[in-house]
Amino acid sequence: MPDSFYYLLQQLLNGLTVGSTYALIAIGYTMVYGIIGMINFAHGEVYMIGSYIAFIVLAALALMGIESLPLLIIGALVVSMIVTSAYGYSIERVAYRPLRGGNRLIPLISAIGMSIFLQNLVRLAQGSRDIAMPNLVRGGLDIGPTTGFHATLSYMQIIIFVVTLISMTLLTLFITRSRMGRACRACAEDLKMTNLLGINTNGIIALTFVIGAALAAVAGVLLGMYYGVINPYIGFMAGLKAFTAAVLGGIGSIPGAVLGGLLLGVAEAMTSGYFSAEYKDVVAFSLLILILLFRPSGILGRPEVEKV
């Protein structure tokens, strides 16, 4: 195999790593949009808070003298998911539910306000400087010749793939098999009708915010450890990227969000690898503009049919 093949493989692996975390965040956007038709622009901040909680938990566990790697990662994931779930629930309860039923722009503005509030809350509590996440997972698997150029799949990347895969499998099982999942799908099709059949739709809406927040926390923990640096502003860009991923795949569709996330991650990695890293955001948002121009319903989205 020529060197160029391993180079390509490396870019692909890097792209899929970042892309799978985009997908995790994008699911939160797409589920909320699917049910109440609004973009929760505070979702990126939930991801950022997830990263911070992970940092705090890792530091606390290290102080307690715990060194087992699985324990550290699972601890960070579980605590982070629980805390961000509370954030997700509260955001919906405080910033969106009182405004439901009004003009669509109003919750959107409320979302932007919530996003600024959360960003500054973390800035005040944790400071605005970069925080270095401890580099817990070192090394990786070499793919290709031992001498010369080869691709590396780091152990951290493997962890990201495995955790993402588990999260998505659990989500899929929940949505397709469980009663609550069935109620979620019903809400996504017709919220008012679901309500009139005796289902507390406010409860279901709150549940989607909680699920979205928990998945964003998973992404926050993983990406925080992968990049090694966090600050209160990472939520903005991650949120925009995940939003782009959700639109790319077809907003409202969960498989679409996953596909969009992976595509976006790979597109960014390829741009960085073959062109210049400075242009990766340009490519990501150009993709957004192109998809909005030529296929506004996204890759897997259904075109909106006018109700008669």
Minimum CB separation of residue 252 from another protein in Å reads: 11
- For residue 198, state whether it binds another protein (rule: CB under 8 A): yes
The three-class DSSP label of residue 229 is strand
Under the criterion CB under 8 A, does residue 201 sit at the interface with another protein? yes
185 binds another protein (CB under 8 A): yes
- Measured from the CB of residue 187, what is the shortest distance to another protein in angstroms? 9
- Give which of 10, 285, 23, 105 is closest to 96, Cα–Cα: 105
* Strand, coil or helix: 197: coil
CA atoms within 13 Å, Cβ hemisphere of 158: 10
Q: Report if residue 166 touches another protein, rule: CB under 8 A.
A: no
Please list the alpha-helical segments (H only) found in the chain. 3-36, 43-63, 69-91, 105-126, 155-177, 179-189, 191-196, 201-227, 234-249, 254-274, 280-294
Of these, 62, 197, 289, 292, which contacts another protein (CB under 8 A)?
197
Among 183, 205, 214, 217, binds another protein (CB under 8 A): 183
**CB 223 within 8 Å of CB 52:** no
**d(Cα 285, Cα 288) in Å, to the nearest integer?**
5
- Interface residue with another protein, options 90, 154, 172, 195 (CB under 8 A): 195
Residue from 125, 192, 293, 306 touching another protein (CB under 8 A): that is: 192
Q: How far is the CB of 194 from another protein (least distance, A)?
A: 7
Smallest gap from residue 210 Cβ to another protein (A): 12
Does residue 142 interact with another protein by CB under 8 A? no
Q: Measured between alpha carbons, how far is 280 from 70 in angstroms, rounded to an integer?
A: 33
Question: Quick one: residue 214, left, alpha or beta (phi over 0 = left, psi -120 to 50 = alpha)?
Answer: alpha
**Does 189 help bind another protein (rule: CB under 8 A)?**
yes
Does residue 178 bind another protein (CB under 8 A)? yes
Number of residues in contact with another protein under rule CB under 8 A = 21
By beta-carbon proximity to another protein, the closer residue of 129 and 192 is 192
Our CB check for another protein shows the closer of 129 and 179 to be 179
305 three-state secondary structure: coil
Question: Residue 123 Cβ, how far from another protein at the closest point, in Å?
Answer: 36
- Does 186 bind another protein (CB under 8 A)? Our answer is yes
Least distance in angstroms from the C-beta of 190 to another protein: 6
User: Is position 182 an interface residue for another protein (rule: CB under 8 A)?
Assistant: yes
Number of Cβ atoms within 10 Å of the Cβ of 195 = 15
Whether the CB-CB separation of 47 and 214 falls below 8 Å is answered with no
Tell me which residue of 242, 224, 261, 170 sits closest to 50, measured CA to CA: 224
Query: 84 or 194: whose CB is closer to another protein?
Result: 194
What is the end-to-end Cα distance of the chain in Å, rounded?
A: 58
The stretch among 8-16, 178-186, 234-242, 275-283 that binds another protein (CB under 8 A) is 178-186
Q: Are 241 and 219 in contact (CB under 8 A)?
A: no
- Under rule CB under 8 A, residue 200 binds another protein: yes
Residues engaged in binding another protein (CB under 8 A): 178-180, 182-183, 185-186, 189-190, 192-201, 307-308
